[in-house]
Amino acid sequence: MSIKNAFYAQSGGVTAVINASACGVIETARKNSDKIGTVYAGKNGIIGALEEDLIDTSLESDEAIAALKHTPSGGFGSCRFKLKSLEENKAEYERLIEVFKAHNIGYFFYNGGGDSADTCYKVSQLSEKMGYPIQAIHVPKTVDNDLPITDNCPGFGSVAKYIAVSTLEASYDVRSMAKTSTQIFVLEVMGRHAGWIAAAGGLVEDQGIPVVILFPEVEFNQEAFLAKVKEKVEQHGFCSIVVSEGAHWPDGKFLAEQGTRDAFGHAQLGGAAPVVANMIKDAHGYKFHWAVADYLQRAARHLASNSDVEQAYALGQAGVEYAIAGENSIMPSVIRTSNNPYQWKIDKAPLSDVANVEKFMPMDFISEDGFGITDKCKEYLYPLIEGENYPPYKNGLPDYVTLKNDCVGKKLPEFKV
Amino acid sequence: MSIKNAFYAQSGGVTAVINASACGVIETARKNSDKIGTVYAGKNGIIGALEEDLIDTSLESDEAIAALKHTPSGGFGSCRFKLKSLEENKAEYERLIEVFKAHNIGYFFYNGGGDSADTCYKVSQLSEKMGYPIQAIHVPKTVDNDLPITDNCPGFGSVAKYIAVSTLEASYDVRSMAKTSTQIFVLEVMGRHAGWIAAAGGLVEDQGIPVVILFPEVEFNQEAFLAKVKEKVEQHGFCSIVVSEGAHWPDGKFLAEQGTRDAFGHAQLGGAAPVVANMIKDAHGYKFHWAVADYLQRAARHLASNSDVEQAYALGQAGVEYAIAGENSIMPSVIRTSNNPYQWKIDKAPLSDVANVEKFMPMDFISEDGFGITDKCKEYLYPLIEGENYPPYKNGLPDYVTLKNDCVGKKLPEFKV
């Protein structure tokens, strides 16, 4: 049997550590060059496979690949592109298999969230039907932390650390200023459907910081919220608020949609943070500041959690090791074996159990009043933000790598997505 | 002559390193306990002096004081409170002198920006007139970087590092996503009157990132801006924009005021970032993301510049050493002696040359098209973001100190500001 090549692609929103998974895949493949040939990476994700834009990672030096471990973003480019169902667009799946066949690719490593787990599963099913064997391995990644089975999703731990640290630092700032100036600080964080990221802001409560969290899981109750904020300010002199972008009114309308209009009359110009801040000002007169973290939170490799980096790498590595061992249609997953000290191992989950299953934040992670997190939630979160994993610096800036990303020659007719 | 006590206060917006200056003042005073008595700190800044809320820093352990060096915010509380002119409110200045007299305070260390330099200067003048000698020393601090004589102002270097690193990381993120999703990232930064902080975002150009800066010093030209952004996106596939909160139209109106209205019809709900982002979307259709850094940037001790931390400490230390040497009415200042390697020393500047003098960004720091920074500007900025100075961590979070802040007994009748 000839040695098969591998295909690796990054999918969906990138993170501070998705490149660490890429590094785990490529370094492990290089160590097993007697069993796995060239690792081709999709230029801009799965689109690269469909359009036969295959980055030849063998042209990158060992140093460049090692530097992926400390470089945020998607080093090969990612994309927001969901393959339709097999019925709706079989041609795309067939094209994938054709490209894999043309380049002697026998391993498919797909690094993404729920949608890509589903795609990965379909590819493995179709390859069977089409009689061209592809071992499809899904390497988990998503700041949304919503994949099942795995203890957490790489990318989430670093966002959680960033949000917890940022909330702590800004809260110290507001505490200093509260006597004559700012009493309220509002931080808007990612999470349209789940409050995992917002929950991380709740960790600062253990540092004596008064904090109110607005989760997408809890319908917004303006009266209760304003009363809670007032109570905190009267007790502490200030209050921090962490609002999820998905926080919404009982009728489902996002707080961010609260009638904001730009000069041209367009809705939804602002975010949830200014809406919440102004609401407090109107009710209580407290002076406020607000921030919207947006991409800063998921790109913040400078503050990555060490456990997140290590797991992202380990999952990429395990993906290749499972592939060499003949596994197919699985997702390497983190299994937590102890909270304190945090201990974990890697196991495999069948993709049939992963695809189309969404993990929600357990309701017993949210405090009874709906504005905070429980001890159980803290027990879950602390291990994920454990340890610092700093990138090297040069001239005061992180020394991140930009790859050459040269593609291998095309062999097939053109195909445009 | 009996040993005199000292008074130290933090003024105005706090920074990631103002506590490092406090640490420099208190540790140096402790080392010279044969020459300086107790250091009292104003609770919430100068208001603490006026209301006789004097924190007895001798009750804090050496460890707690040392931890100030790595703790952001104002450890004793700060305030936005500007003493009026001597003519308008002589009573406040006289009260200060009375409080100093009652607590045998002979040294006044005021840690702040331009306004506090002015207050410091007036206190030294008045103490002469009132025949109660006070050595008034201004310790510079401000993220605005607008004090004269000193090479830079402690606090600025760390904000500059935070903005440069954040712009770099978010730009890598956008670059990954640009094929099918976000092509524009807009980051709003502080700087109502000066573009120092926005300029730091321009450093990422050296990392191959297309970036457009909107300075308060340059009247906003919508047509030229939109053309510049289009040019960058067509060349690179994406573009990052760093907009100063003080960016404004030719008529002086801030971009942030661009007709934004909340549900109640209130103006100025949003920031400049969403206005700019929507403007680009309307003109070119590019998908965008935007962030507002707000307090996160000035509180980000987790990413402090080492040169900033060292200078903040050295200026506090020098303040005490100058005081012991009999100096009065001065500001210890950083004098740059070499760019590469960055070398600097501390010298003293007379407060008469500092008070009411504002340092602007030199116009030859801004590129000819008004959207970037020059090599001269980069030469100035790089040394200020040099080196990393990480705080210790515990359970995944920085181990910042919260002081006891116990006050000494009052000796004077009540006085309310």
Q: What is the pLDDT of residue A47?
A: 96
Q: Which of A251-265, B289-303, B328-342 has the lowest mean pLDDT?
A: A251-265
**What is the percentage of chain B residues whose pLDDT exceeds 90?**
89
> Which amino acid does the sequence have at A165?
V
pLDDT of residue B268 exceeding 50, the answer is no
Q: What is the pLDDT of residue B263?
A: 45
**Could you say which DSSP state residue A390 is in?**
P
Same fold, B4-142+304-357+390-398 and B156-299: yes
ipTM exceeds 0.85, yes or no: yes
Q: What is the pLDDT of residue A128?
A: 84
For residues B313-338, give the mean pLDDT: 98
B211: β partners: B240
Contacts A–B by Cβ distance under 8 A: 254
**Could you say which DSSP state residue B373 is in?**
B
- Sole residue written with tokens 């937590």: A336
pLDDT of residue B229 exceeding 90, the answer is yes
Residue pLDDT, tens place only, B172-222:
999 999 999 999 999 999 998 899 999 999 999 999 999 999 999 999 999
Q: If contacts are CB pairs under 8 Å, which of residues 320-379 in chain A contact chain B?
A: none
For residues A155-175, give the mean pLDDT: 98
CA dist A128 and A134 (Å) reads 8
Domain boundaries, chain A: 4-142+301-357+387-398, 156-299
Residues of B in contact with A261 (CB under 8 A): 259-261
Q: What is the pLDDT of residue B1?
A: 53
- Residues A303 and B393 sit within 8 Å (Cβ to Cβ): no
Of A47, A292, A388, the CB nearest to B180: A47
Identify the CATH assignment for B4-142+304-357+390-398 out of 3.40.50.1220, 3.10.20.30, 3.90.950.20, 3.40.50.450: 3.40.50.450
Q: If contacts are CB pairs under 8 Å, which of residues 164-193 in chain A contact chain B?
A: 164-166, 168-170, 172-182, 185, 187
Residue pLDDT, tens place only, B1-37:
589 999 999 999 999 999 999 999 999 999 999 999 9
CA dist A200 and A311 (Å) reads 19
Name residues whose C-beta falls within 8 Å of residue A147's C-beta, 6 or more positions apart in sequence.
A113, A114, A117, A140, A153, A331, A354, A359
For residues B327-334, give the mean pLDDT: 98
CA dist B375 and A182 (Å) reads 37
* Residue A160: pLDDT band with limits 50, 70, 90: very high
CATH number at A156-299: 3.40.50.460
Closest CA–CA distance from residue A295 to any residue of chain B (Å)? 6
- pTM, entire model: 0.97
Q: If contacts are CB pairs under 8 Å, which of residues 193-222 in chain B contact chain A?
A: 203-204, 207-208
Q: What is the pLDDT of residue B262?
A: 46
* Residue A259: pLDDT band with limits 50, 70, 90: low
pLDDT of residue A125 exceeding 80, the answer is yes
Interchain proximity B169–A296, CB inside 8 Å: yes
Q: What is the pLDDT of residue B267?
A: 47
pLDDT of residue B258 exceeding 80, the answer is no
- Residues A136 and A326 sit within 8 Å (Cβ to Cβ): no
Cα end-to-end distance, chain B, whole Å: 33
**What is the percentage of chain B residues whose pLDDT exceeds 70?**
97
Q: What is the pLDDT of residue B417?
A: 86
Interchain proximity A398–B73, CB inside 8 Å: no
For residues B357-380, give the mean pLDDT: 96
For residues A360-377, give the mean pLDDT: 97
- If you write DSSP's letter for every residue of A121-166 in order, what string do you get? HHHHHHHHHHT---EEEEEE--TT---SSSSS-TTHHHHHHHHHHH
Report the catalytic residues of B: 144
Q: What sign for the dihedral angle of Cα A176, A179, A182, A188?
A: positive
Better-scored residue on pLDDT, A180 or A87: A180
> Number of C-alpha atoms within 13 angstroms, CB side, residue B145?
25
* Residue A270: pLDDT band with limits 50, 70, 90: low
Residue pLDDT, tens place only, B74-131:
999 999 988 888 788 888 999 999 999 999 999 999 999 999 999 999 999 988 888 8
Report the mean per-residue pLDDT for chain A: 95
For residues A28-57, give the mean pLDDT: 98
Interchain proximity B291–A295, CB inside 8 Å: yes
Whether residue B67 lies within 8 A of chain A, CB to CB, comes out as no
Interchain proximity B396–A161, CB inside 8 Å: yes
Q: Residue A102: which of A172, A58, A52, A169 has the closest Cα? A: A52
Q: Residue A235: which of A265, A207, A264, A211 has the closest Cα? A: A211
Residues of A in contact with B47 (CB under 8 A): 179-180
Under CATH, what is the fold of the domain A4-142+301-357+387-398? Answer: Rossmann fold (3.40.50)
pLDDT of residue A268 exceeding 70, the answer is no
A53, A56, A115, A144: which one is catalytic? A144
Q: How many H helices and E strands in chain B?
A: 13, 13
